[in-house]
Amino acid sequence: MSDGIEVGADAYEAWASGYDLRTGQPKGTLKENGVRFYVKVTNVPKDRSIAAEAWDDVSAALDAAMDRAGAEMGR
């Protein structure tokens, strides 16, 4: 990290879970059973967008995948 803290797997997990890496204390209120860390790509490479324009089945599959991604992020 830019402030000189070495970030290995454990430190990254702690940071992503909302802990201050210097003190080990929570940076806020942590939700019980909350999502600890979530990354979901919600855009697609240009070639898939072009394929979706050319083929209806690709378009439908891409739309469904984007809908699922949005629903998962809303949890």
3-class DSSP assignment, residue 26: strand
Tell me the H-state helices in 3-55. Answer: 9-16, 46-54
Nearest to 48 by CA among 67, 65, 63, 62: 62
Task: Give the residue-averaged pLDDT of 50-71.
Answer: 88
> Model-level pTM?
0.42
Percentages of the chain per state (helix, strand, coil), in multiples of 5: 45, 5, 50
Mean pLDDT on 9-33: 80
Predicted confidence (pLDDT) at residue 54 exceeds the cutoff of 70: yes
Q: How much is the pLDDT for 42?
A: 64
